[in-house]
């Protein structure tokens, strides 16, 4: 993953960043650019650095992309200029590739088979060696994104059809990729054989088909959820409807990122046919069983831990309450605060409710701790507002290992649980007690609803070989 400085990124991001969100639609008679805009709006939580849409009318592919939120990138005039009946869209957080407009997606190129646009959610673990191969062949690359590597591999792949070229790419690529691919006359959905990143299909009013990273985007435009794109699958959408074509066999071990259930996915989305909000409540309930404590109120860090806190309160028989108000716009501005505001840190994002906190013994529930840079000032904020005790409960195990499959998590040295024991972390955060959900408890909840999950950030057991620049490949634990 690239560690370049994220110029233009919000200065108060969540500690975990997902790679991005993808969207695609094939629908005659519909304003597909506008529908894609609203689909991306529903997926804004998955990427807030850049946004883009590519549209085909069957002859020409037109695209627009820029740095910023969906609402900042697109105007009525821009949407009106994107005419056609099939489209793909993308929201981006940078993982491989720095935060620059040249890395914004979708990527659009001309090939021997015609125009091609592509949007990618994930991270190729062998991107460095694939990039070297392209450069040795004389292929010029204009960005540092592994998505451009994918586009150029497809442009230069063997095969007289896009399906053949997609299969050729899938046989050589390693790592996470959920793709929406646009040609002049078809739209494709492609998912890696491990199924690291989510991708689902919906039906729009019997006139079209929709693909999205999450089902919440389908609901936003009135599409009906049909099913997940299966690992290793290629699906084509064209005038003949939806056609499943041969991709590559699924991996022996499925590996959907467990953080989709814990944090990334919107609570109203479905993953493997089950509501994410329900899973988060179950995680909170399991956490309460493992780490009970005498307290007056349970509260979550808004908004990502609210469902976990509700589950904890229900299982513990304690009242659930609100102790922090979140400014939902501070984290989504591209205007940098001055140095005085920067020093206020978390106070820019959260405001305490002293009447709810004064004299209370609190259970503070959060979804995860990565570096601890946000948790510590939140605890201090609650104590300043009058909380008598703060008992922190985390609805996931300690994160001790970095992610190489498309989550901008941190380096191993930056992970607080890699450096400190749980008691030491609690002391660092300034809490009265600290309890993490056990890996066994997490598995008990989530593996009942999934055929396989990647938990490498907790266990260090990666589901595939990893390629590190300059160090050669390393095998999974």
The runs of H, that is alpha helices, within 388-455 are 416-419, 422-429, 439-446
One domain for residues 296 and 199: no
In a domain, 7, yes or no: no
Determine contact, residues 115/108, Cβ cutoff 8 Å.
yes
pLDDT at 473: 33
**Domain endpoint, select from 187, 219, 252:** 252
One domain for residues 411 and 275: yes
Kindly state the DSSP code that residue 17 receives in the 8-state scheme: B
In a domain, 448, yes or no: yes
One domain for residues 238 and 374: no
Strand 433-436 and strand 389-394: the pairing is: parallel
Query: Distance (Å, rounded) from C-alpha 434 to C-alpha 372?
Result: 13
In a domain, 469, yes or no: no
pLDDT < 70 regions, the chain = 1-19, 94-99, 330-337, 339-343, 408-410, 449-451, 467-477
One domain for residues 226 and 274: no
433 Cβ neighbours under 8 A, 6+ residues apart: 291, 293, 391, 392, 426
In a domain, 120, yes or no: yes
Helix (H), strand (E), coil (C) string for 25-36: EEECCCCHHHHH
CATH code for the domain of 166? 3.60.20.10
In a domain, 262, yes or no: no
Domain extent, residue 145, equals 20-252
What is the number of domains present in the chain? 2
By three-state DSSP, how is residue 306 classified?
A: helix
One domain for residues 208 and 325: no
pLDDT at 471: 34
In a domain, 257, yes or no: no
One domain for residues 292 and 354: yes
One domain for residues 55 and 99: yes
One domain for residues 217 and 275: no
In a domain, 470, yes or no: no
Q: How far is CA 196 from CA 47, 339, 347, 455, in A?
A: 17, 39, 35, 11
One domain for residues 313 and 242: no
At 126, list the tokens.
Answer: 């062998």
One domain for residues 86 and 222: yes
**Domain endpoint, select from 223, 252, 281:** 252
Query: Distance (Å, rounded) from C-alpha 356 to C-alpha 369?
Result: 24
In a domain, 173, yes or no: yes
Active site residue 102: no
One domain for residues 314 and 433: yes
One domain for residues 30 and 152: yes
Q: If you search the block for the tokens 């749980």, which residue do you land on? A: 422
CATH code for the domain of 403? 3.40.50.2020
**Domain endpoint, select from 183, 218, 252:** 252
């Amino acid at each position: 993953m690239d560690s370049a400085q994220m110029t233009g990124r919000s200065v108060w991001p969540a500690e975990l960043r997902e790679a991005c969100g993808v969207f695609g639609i094939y629908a005659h008679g519909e304003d597909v650019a506008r529908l894609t805009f609203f689909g991306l709006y529903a997926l804004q939580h998955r990427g807030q650095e850049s946004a883009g849409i590519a549209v085909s009318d069957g002859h020409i592919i037109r695209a627009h992309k820029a740095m910023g939120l969906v609402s900042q990138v697109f105007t009525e005039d821009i949407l009106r200029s994107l005419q056609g009946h099939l489209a793909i869209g993308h929201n981006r957080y940078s993982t491989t590739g720095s935060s620059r407009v040249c890395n914004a997606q979708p990527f659009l190129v001309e090939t021997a088979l015609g125009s091609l646009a592509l949007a990618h959610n994930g991270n190729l673990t062998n991107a460095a060696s694939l990039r070297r191969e392209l450069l040795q062949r004389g292929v010029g690359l204009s960005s540092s994104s592994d998505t451009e590597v994918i586009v150029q591999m497809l442009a230069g792949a063997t095969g007289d059809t896009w399906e053949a070229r997609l299969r050729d790419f899938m046989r050589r690529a390693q790592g996470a990729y959920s793709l929406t691919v646009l040609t002049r006359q078809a739209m494709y959905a492609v998912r890696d054989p491990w199924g690291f990143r989510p991708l689902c299909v919906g039906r729009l009013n019997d006139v079209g088909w929709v693909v999205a990273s999450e089902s919440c985007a389908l609901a936003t435009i009135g599409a009906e959820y049909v099913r997940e794109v299966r690992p290793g699958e290629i699906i084509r959408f064209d005038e003949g409807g939806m056609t499943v074509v041969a991709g590559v066999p699924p991996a022996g071990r499925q590996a959907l990122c467990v953080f989709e259930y814990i944090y990334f996915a919107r609570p109203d989305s479905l993953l493997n046919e089950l509501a994410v909000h329900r899973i988060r409540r179950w995680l909170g309930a399991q956490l309460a069983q493992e780490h009970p404590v005498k307290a007056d109120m349970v509260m979550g860090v808004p908004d990502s831990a609210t469902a976990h806190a509700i589950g904890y309160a229900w299982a513990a028989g304690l009242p659930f309450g609100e102790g922090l108000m979140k400014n939902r716009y501070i984290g989504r501005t591209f205007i940098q605060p001055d140095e005085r505001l920067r020093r206020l840190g978390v106070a820019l994002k959260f405001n305490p409710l002293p009447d709810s906190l004064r004299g209370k013994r609190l259970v503070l529930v959060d979804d995860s701790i990565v570096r601890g840079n946000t948790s510590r000032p939140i605890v201090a904020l609650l104590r300043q507002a009058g909380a008598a005790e703060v008992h922190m409960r985390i609805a996931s195990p300690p994160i001790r290992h970095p992610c190489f499959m498309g989550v901008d998590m941190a380096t191993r040295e930056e992970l607080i649980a890699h450096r400190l024991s749980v008691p030491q972390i609690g002391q660092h955060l300034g809490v009265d007690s600290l309890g993490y959900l056990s890996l066994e408890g997490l598995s008990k909840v989530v593996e009942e609803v999934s055929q396989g999950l990647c938990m490498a950030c907790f266990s260090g057991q990666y589901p595939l070989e990893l390629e590190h620049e300059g160090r050669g490949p390393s095998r999974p634990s």
